[in-house]
Amino acid sequence: MNILINDKPCTLPEGALLADALAVLQAVPPFAVAVNREFVPRSAYATHPLHADDRVEVIRPVTGG
């Protein structure tokens, strides 16, 4: 299935979970994740199913002053 991760196309197998998308991205904490503009808590990454055309956004905190 095709999804977007941070506006970049990505192909994952049917039945993929959010944790699978994060593994493809090789995401290193700290970060927050939204799927289709809905925040997904870290505790749900391993169980949150993805669907064709989902939009996954991985947001990293910005520091500085």
- Site of tokens 């064709």: 52
Among 31-35, 41-45, 59-63, the range scoring the smallest mean pLDDT is 59-63
Q: Is the pTM of this model over 0.75?
A: yes
What's the CA gap between 34 and 58, in Å, rounded?
7
What's the CA gap between 58 and 12, in Å, rounded?
17
Protein fold of 2-59: Ubiquitin-like (UB roll) (3.10.20)
CB distance 58 to 22 below 8 Å: yes
Tens of pLDDT, residue by residue over 39-58, are: 999 999 999 999 999 999 99
Instruction: List the chain domain ranges.
Output: 2-59
Question: What's the pLDDT at 64?
Answer: 77
